[in-house]
Amino acid sequence: MSPLLQVTDLDVDFGGRPAVRGVGLTLERGEVLGLVGESGSGKSATALAVLGLLPGNAVVRGSVRLDGQELVGASDKQLTRIRGSRVSMVFQDPLSAFTPVYRIGDQVAEAVRAHQDVSREQALERAVELLDLVGIPEPALRARAFPHEFSGGMRQRAMIAMAMANDPDVILADEPTTALDVTIQAQVLDVLRTAQRETGAAMLLVSHDLGVIAGAADRVAVMHEGRVVESGTAVDVFTRPQEPYTKQLLAAVPRIDAPRAPQPPVGEQVLKVRGLTRTFPVLKGTAFKRRIGTVYAVDGVDLDIRRGEALALVGESGSGKSTTLFELLELARPEGGTIELFGQRLGGLSATETKALRRRVQIVFQDPMASLDPRMPVGDIVAEPLRTQGADRVTIGRRVPELLTQVGLDPAHAERFPHEFSGGQRQRIGIARALSVEPELLVLDEPVSALDVSVQAGVLKLLQRLKEELGLAYLFVSHDLSVVRNIADRVSVVYLGRTVEAGPVDEVFERPRHPYTQALLSAVPLPDPVRERQRQSARILLAGDPPSPTRRYDGCRFRGRCPLQAQLGEGDRERCGREVPVLDGDGAACHFPRVREVV
């Protein structure tokens, strides 16, 4: 029998630039094929080419056969009949993938009605059923919500519901979990498995995340520069890679289970934060706003960093990690709690003292493209903190080439603009800018999360080297726990704006005591198909999204999602609901901490 979907000699050009070169793939009924590669490897273009969804400037050659029917060069009418009914698609960014002005339910129902001759009401009923199937609570009510009212995870579930609407034979999932937190990623992958089981569809899973692929795919194809460089069963590719590129890629992936010798804390205290709080008003109205509620973004964060030490702040999005950083960088008196930088307490410092502090604390942002002014030459960007500190032209002219060399860039490129550099180089520019005024504490907000794994490894190595050479202290925010394991000496876990566990990195990762930390760690997929499949059965799946930070919670704020609650007795549960667990120094803010190995 011929394969369900067969791609042979597929070429895609974008305005003359080749993106995909001679790609061949086969997808059998009911199997999951993982298509893995770094950005620009042509994996998404391959998936889009199957359904003829590439933009107008793309030229597609070769053959895509679905059950023997040729799709390349098929008329739009023929493709329209196949799209959504026999082959459906799950896209990456679920916010931009839904039309903002229509209700989620209507958009799912529209997919039903595009291929089935049913009434509006019937289509809508079917939509509600589908939303129920993908685990959206109160589906009838939520079907009436608009896309912007859904969380990222919920939108992705709705997207999957839409893909399931017409019992497709093939589901193309293009980076379905990329923008999501690990905990939500685990849920969505679970839903994808359900969808596949319910419809019996084969799935082409496109991802850059080797862990996701290892956990989900039966067979794997590795793409690099538009070509498939290696393919085989998941176990073969991951454990016995043949091609040098695959080997490199696997070696570059930071692993959550890789122990590292962290450096013992040395030197004096650089940063001390106690009980930091920050709230934002929830406003209503346009011309005259009034306050209708409060977001408790940060609600009791403690941090300690010594010289030469890297502290990682981890947690789901919305847990207040970034707000904590920005509060720190305002260098003003915090709304609640205390911040001490280099022994100086923030609030009530003179302008000169603040300016001096500014030099000692610098920041590196997440998205290197967004954090560099696109209209400024790199030399000016790197020099900006120096200028602000009042350095003269001679110093600037001397320092800029020095700094660029220090981060591994060519000083002759100082006149170029950010867009002329690759992602990793841009992040190096960001680091050079931060280093220009010789800071002592570097605040890093997700510094490598926008980068490909091989580039990530280079930047992490640079950060490690700079720390050792310059004796820097790092405050490092990341949602990627594998990266944290790679660079941090100590970890602090925050949940809903509050520190729930802190300690040396190996201690926390190997012997997590807080159930939230355990859930986070257990959700991180390992790039190892054998171990990953074993872990899947033991995975701690947290229910639902993180609760709203607009509410104040009595007692332990994690108890609503806590997997321990079911095992506790009546009295113990009551204690969790009444008493706020406190954290003193290292350890876990839990009334019933117990070590559980999850990595």
Partner 1 sequence: MTTTVIAEEAPVAAPPAGRATVVLRRFLRNRTALAGAVVLVLLFLLAFVGPYVTPWSYSHIDYTALRAAPDADHWWGTNRIGQDVFAQTARGLQKSLIIGLLVAVLSTGLASLVGACAGYFGGWTDRLLMFFVDLLLVFPSFLIIAIVSPRLNSSGWFALVGLLGLFAWMITARVVRSMTLSLKEREFVRAARYMGVGPFRIIWRHVLPNIASFLIIDATIQVGGAVMSETALSYFGFGVQPPDVSLGTLIADGTGAAVTYPWMFFFAAGLLVVFVLAVNLVGDGLRDALDPTAKGASR
Partner 2 sequence: MMWQQEAWTISPVPAYLAKRLGYYALLLLAAVCLSYLLASLALDPREYYAGRQPPIPVASVNHHLDEIGVNDRTPLPHRFLRWFGHAVRGDLGQTIDGTSVNAEFGRRLGVSLRLLLTGTVFGTVAGVLVGAWTAVRQYRFSDRAVTLASFALLSTPVFLLAILLKTGAIWFNQTTGTDLIQFTGEKSPGLTGGFWTVVEDRAVHLLLPTLSVALFAVASYSRYQRNTMLDVLGSDYLRTARAKGLAQRTVLLKHGLRTALIPMSTYFSYGFLALFTGATFTETIFGWHGMGEWFVASIGKNDVNSVVAVNLFAAVTVLCSGFLADILHAALDPRIRQAS
Residues that bind partner 2 (CB under 8 A): 51, 53, 55, 76, 80-85, 88-89, 91, 93, 96-103, 106, 110-111, 114-115, 120, 124, 144, 146, 148-149, 159, 162, 166, 284-288
| Main-chain phi, psi angles of 526, to 5 degrees | -95, 140
CB of 417 to partner 1, least distance (A): 3
The amino acid sitting at 400 is V
Q: Is residue 185 a contact partner of residue 317, using CB atoms and an 8 Å limit?
A: no
Question: Are 72 and 60 contacting, i.e. CB atoms less than 8 angstroms apart?
Answer: yes
**Cβ-based nearer residue to partner 1, 357 or 580:** 357
Considering the complex, state which of residue 29 and residue 358 has its C-beta at the smaller distance from partner 1: 358
Q: How far is the CB of 97 from partner 2 (least distance, A)?
A: 5
List the one residue from 245, 421, 476, 558 that touches partner 1 (CB under 8 A). Answer: 421
Find the binder of partner 1 among 156, 362, 482, 522 (CB under 8 A): 362
DSSP H helical ranges for 407-473:
423-435, 453-470
Give how many residues touch partner 1 by CB under 8 A: 48
CB closer to partner 2, 7 vs 311: 7
**Sheet strands (E) in 138-218:** 170-174, 202-207
Task: Report the site for partner 1 in 366-385 (rule: CB under 8 A).
Answer: 366-367, 370-377, 379-380, 384-385
Cα–Cα distance for residue pair 505/578, rounded to 1 Å: 31
Please tell me the distance from the alpha carbon of residue 395 to that of residue 190, in angstroms, as a whole number. Answer: 56
- Please state the closest distance from residue 114 (CB atom) to partner 2, in A: 4
For residue 118, the partner it binds in partner 2, partner 1, none, with Cβ less than 5 to 8 A by kind, is none
Q: At what angle do helices 515-523 and 182-199 cross, to 10 degrees?
A: 50
Q: What is the dihedral of CA 451, 455, 458, 460, to 10 degrees?
A: 20
CA distance 285 to 230: 56
Binding piece for partner 1, criterion CB under 8 A, among 3-11, 156-164, 296-304, 416-424 = 416-424
Here the tokens at position 450 are 């926008």
Q: Identify which of residues 77 and 419 has a Cβ nearer to partner 1 in the complex.
A: 419
Rounded CA-CA distance 105/124 in Å is 7
Residue for token pair 């500190």? 389
Residue 223 interacting with partner 1 (CB under 8 A): no
Place of tokens 């795919």: 217
- Phi, psi (degrees; rounded to nearest 5) at 508: -70, -40
Of 78 and 294, nearer to partner 2 (C-beta) is: 78
Judged by beta carbon distances under 5 to 8 A according to partner kind, the member of partner 1, partner 2, none in contact with residue 591 is none
Q: Under DSSP, is residue 161 helix (H, G, I), strand (E, B) or coil?
A: helix
Q: Which of 138, 198, 335, 420 binds partner 1 (CB under 8 A)?
A: 420
What is the rounded CA–CA span in Å between residue 295 and residue 315? 17
Partner interacting with residue 548 (select from partner 1, partner 2, none; CB below 5-8 Å by kind): none
Binding partner of 162, given partner 2, partner 1, none, CB within 5-8 angstroms per partner class:
partner 2
Q: Does the footprint of partner 1 cover residue 101 (CB under 8 A)? A: no
Which residues on neighbouring strands pair with residue 59, listed in sequence order? 13
The reply on whether position 433 binds partner 1 by CB under 8 A is yes
Question: 454 and 249 in contact (C-beta within 8 Å)?
Answer: yes
CA distances from 401 to 294, 394, 413, 597 (A): 47, 12, 9, 48
Using DSSP's 3-state secondary structure scheme, residue 137 falls into coil
Closer residue to partner 1, CB minimum distance, 293 or 374: 374
Work out which of 206, 213, 414, 491 binds partner 1, going by CB under 8 A. Answer: 414
Is residue 352 part of the contact set for partner 1 (CB under 8 A)?
Answer: no
- Is 388 a residue that touches partner 1 (CB under 8 A)? yes
Amino acid identity, position 308: G
Any contact of residue 148 with partner 1 (CB under 8 A)?
Answer: no
Query: Given the complex with partner 2, which of 290 and 552 has the nearer CB atom?
Result: 290
Residue 410 sits in the site that holds partner 1 (CB under 8 A): yes
In the bound state with partner 2, the residue whose beta carbon lies nearer, of 102 and 251, is 102
The minimum distance between CB 426 and partner 2, in angstroms, equals 23
| Residue 354, H or E segment | helix 351-360
**Which partner from the list partner 2, partner 1, none does 178 bind, CB cut-off 5 to 8 Å by kind?**
none
Q: Largest Cα–Cα distance in the chain?
A: 79
Is the CB of residue 284 less than 8 Å from the CB of residue 486?
A: no
Query: How many residues are listed for the chain in this entry?
Result: 599
Cβ proximity to partner 1: between 418 and 525 the closer is 418
- Give the DSSP H or E segment for 261: none
Q: Residue 416 binds what, of partner 2, partner 1, none (CB under 5 to 8 Å, by partner type)? A: partner 1
Q: How many CB atoms lie within 10 A of CB 134?
A: 26
Decide: is 329 part of the binding site for partner 1 (CB under 8 A). Answer: yes
Contact between 463 and partner 1 by CB under 8 A: the answer reads no
The per-residue b/e assignment along 462-501, b for 16 or more CB within 10 angstroms, e otherwise, is bbeebbeeeebbbbbbbbbbbbbbbbbbbbbbbbbbbbbb
DSSP 8-class letter at 88? E
CA distance 55 to 17: 14
CB nearer to partner 2: give 106 or 572.
106
Q: Is 400 in the site for partner 1 (CB under 8 A)?
A: yes
CB of 278 to partner 1, least distance (A): 16
- The correct pick among 401, 504, 544, 555 for binding partner 1 (CB under 8 A) is 401
CB 213 within 8 A of CB 36: yes
Q: Which amino acid type is present at position 392?
A: D
**Residue 365 binds which one of partner 1, partner 2, none, with CB within 5 to 8 A depending on kind?**
partner 1
Return the closest-CA partner of residue 34 out of 176, 183, 216: 216
187 in contact with partner 1 (CB under 8 A): no
Output 35 or 407, the one with its CB closest to partner 1: 407
Cα–Cα distance, 20 to 40 (Å, whole number):
9
Contact region with partner 1 (CB under 8 A), list: 82-90, 295-303, 420-428, 480-488: 420-428
Asked whether position 358 contacts partner 1 by CB under 8 A, the answer is yes
Nearer to partner 1, 285 or 571 (CB): 285
Given the rule CB under 8 A, which of 2-10, 142-150, 394-402, 503-511 is the region that contacts partner 1?
A: 394-402
- CB-wise, 347 or 374, nearer to partner 1? 374
CA 540: distance to chain centroid? Answer: 19
Contact flag: residue 274 with partner 1 (CB under 8 A): no
Residues that bind partner 1 (CB under 8 A): 326, 329, 354-355, 358, 362-363, 365-367, 370-377, 379-380, 384-385, 388-389, 393, 396-398, 400-401, 405, 408-422, 425, 433
